[in-house]
Amino acid sequence: MINDNDIEIFNIPVAGKMDPEALIKVLAEIGEEVEPAGAADGKELIGRKDFALNLFAKRAWMHTAHTFGYLAPTGPVNGQTQSISHAGDITADPTLKNTRIKITLDRLRVADYPGRGKHSILFDFYAENQLENAREPLHFSNTYSAMEGEQAALIGYPIFIGLNVGKDGISFRCFTVNVKNDSDEQFLKFLDSDEFKAGLQLTEKLQPAIAPLSKMALGISQAIAKRNRNIPVQNFNMGLDFSNIATRARLREGSYIAVQIPESISVIWDWDEWVFNPKNGQIVNRDDMTQLVPYNYIVFSISRYEGA
pLDDT tens, residue by residue, 176-235: 988 875 556 555 655 565 555 555 565 555 565 566 666 666 666 666 666 657 888 999
pLDDT tens, residue by residue, 74-113: 877 787 999 999 999 999 999 999 999 999 999 999 999 9
Alpha carbon distance 268, 265 (integer Å): 5
List the single range of 205-209, 219-223, 238-242, 282-286 with lowest mean pLDDT: 205-209
Spatial strand order in the sheet of 249-250: 135-147, 118-130, 170-179, 231-241, 249-250
Alpha carbon distance 232, 13 (integer Å): 7
Could you tell me if 16 and 231 are in contact, meaning their C-beta atoms sit under 8 angstroms apart? no
Residue type for position 130: Q
Could you tell me whether strands 200-201 and 157-164 are parallel, antiparallel, or unpaired per DSSP bridges?
parallel
pLDDT band (50, 70, 90) for residue 59: confident
Q: What DSSP state is assigned to residue 169?
A: B
Could you tell me if 100 and 165 are in contact, meaning their C-beta atoms sit under 8 angstroms apart? yes
**pLDDT tops 90 at residue 290:** yes
Residues in the chain: 308
**pLDDT tops 90 at residue 33:** no
Helix (H, G, I), strand (E, B) or coil at 277: strand
Instruction: Select from 242, 226, 205 the least CA-distant residue to 88.
Output: 242
Helix (H, G, I), strand (E, B) or coil at 184: helix
pLDDT of residue 39: 46
pLDDT of residue 264: 80
Alpha helices in the chain (DSSP H): 20-29, 49-56, 185-191, 194-197, 210-226
**pLDDT tops 80 at residue 13:** yes
Q: Whole-number mean pLDDT of the chain? A: 81
pLDDT band (50, 70, 90) for residue 129: confident
Summarize the confidence of residues 247-275 as an average pLDDT: 92
Summarize the confidence of residues 282-302 as an average pLDDT: 96
**What is the CA 244 to chain-centroid distance, rounded?**
25
pLDDT of residue 3: 37
The region, left, alpha or beta by phi > 0 then psi within -120 to 50, assigned to residue 38 is: left
